[in-house]
Amino acid sequence: METVKYKGYTYPAWFGKNILTFIKQTTFKCKHPKAIFLCECGVQKELDMYSVRNSVIKNCGCKRSEISRIKATRYSHNIKKLNSCHRGMMSRCYNEKNVEYKNYGGRGVTVCGEWHNYQNFLNWALNNGWNEALQLDKDKIVKDNKIYSPETCCFITARENTNHRRNTVEIFNDGKRYALKELCELEDLNYNIIQKKIKAGVSFYVAKYQYLTKTKYAT
Ligand SMILES: [Zn+2]
């Protein structure tokens, strides 16, 4: 089946397309002339010509139920995704058996009372730009934040998330704070090598110097 992408979701190819063919005009000399159109599904129907021309009407009505079914599936898909996001958050904070507990609950990170209720969390997420490519973040707005709440959380991309991790090495460069990974990308340095040197105890600048002299200027 041919498909189209729209806002990150996949739809059948007919989605959003006008699938009507003009057959003949039936009413004249009026504000809203009508015409017979042939729909791709085979049905002929008399429709408002201007609405068809402006793509307000795109089919004979045959796709209406299919569109509402697609929307409903998409919505339940979102709900499932957000449900696992919510369960993950609760588990990191309150389940001592969770592998990430030591970095969350174990460090005193909690979930605000309001968000213990999944429905509240869901409403917040859907009203705050969530889509399935994004991840929940609690450290971007408030540095080293210890509570998941509507005031302290936002959604970020997976890449931003890696850069903001608590165990990420942070470097001050030209008065700005960078995640090491970010800075290495900016300066075209090998992140793994630089990170190893820093872990071994040298500063970023020394690590950078060593890296450059060894890999690029060695004879
Ligand atoms: Zn149709």
Q: What is the pLDDT along the chain (219 residues), one digit of tens a residue?
A: 788 887 767 788 888 889 999 999 999 989 999 999 999 999 999 999 999 999 899 999 999 888 888 888 888 888 888 999 999 999 999 999 998 898 899 999 999 999 999 999 999 998 898 888 888 999 888 888 999 999 999 998 877 776 666 556 677 766 677 778 878 888 888 888 888 888 888 888 888 888 888 765 443
Single residue among 12, 27, 62 that ends a domain in this structure = 62
Stated as kind and residue range, the H or E segment containing 106 is none
Same domain, 86 and 143: yes
Position 47 in a domain: yes
Give pLDDT, residue 44. Answer: 96
Give pLDDT, residue 219. Answer: 38
Same domain, 58 and 86: no
Give pLDDT, residue 191. Answer: 87
Same domain, 83 and 149: yes
Give pLDDT, residue 49. Answer: 95
Instruction: State in Å: Cα 18 to ligand 1 middle.
Output: 10
Position 72 in a domain: no
Same domain, 150 and 208: no
Instruction: State in Å: Cα 124 to ligand 1 middle.
Output: 38
Position 117 in a domain: yes
Instruction: State in Å: Cα 44 to ligand 1 middle.
Output: 8
How many domains would you assign to the chain? Answer: 3
Give pLDDT, residue 101. Answer: 93
Position 8 in a domain: yes
Same domain, 201 and 134: no
Same domain, 90 and 41: no
The whole model's pTM is what?
A: 0.54
> Could you list the residue range(s) of the whole structural domain that residue 153 is in?
77-164
Position 194 in a domain: yes
Q: What is the 3-state secondary structure (H, E, C) of 147-200?
A: EECCCCCEEEEHHHHHHHCCCCCEEEECCEEEEHHHHHHHCCCCHHHHHHHHHC
Instruction: State in Å: Cα 38 to ligand 1 middle.
Output: 8
Single residue among 62, 85, 108 that ends a domain in this structure = 62
Same domain, 155 and 178: no
Position 116 in a domain: yes
Instruction: State in Å: Cα 189 to ligand 1 middle.
Output: 58
Give pLDDT, residue 195. Answer: 86
How many other C-beta atoms can be found within 10 angstroms of the C-beta atom of residue 138?
20
Position 40 in a domain: yes
Structure tokens at 71: 């929307």
Q: Where are the alpha helices (DSSP H) in the chain?
A: 49-53, 64-94, 113-116, 118-127, 158-164, 180-186, 191-199, 204-215
Structure tokens at 206: 């020394």
Instruction: State in Å: Cα 86 to ligand 1 middle.
Output: 41
Contact 90, 104 (CB under 8 A): no
Position 42 in a domain: yes
Same domain, 159 and 181: no
Give pLDDT, residue 164. Answer: 61
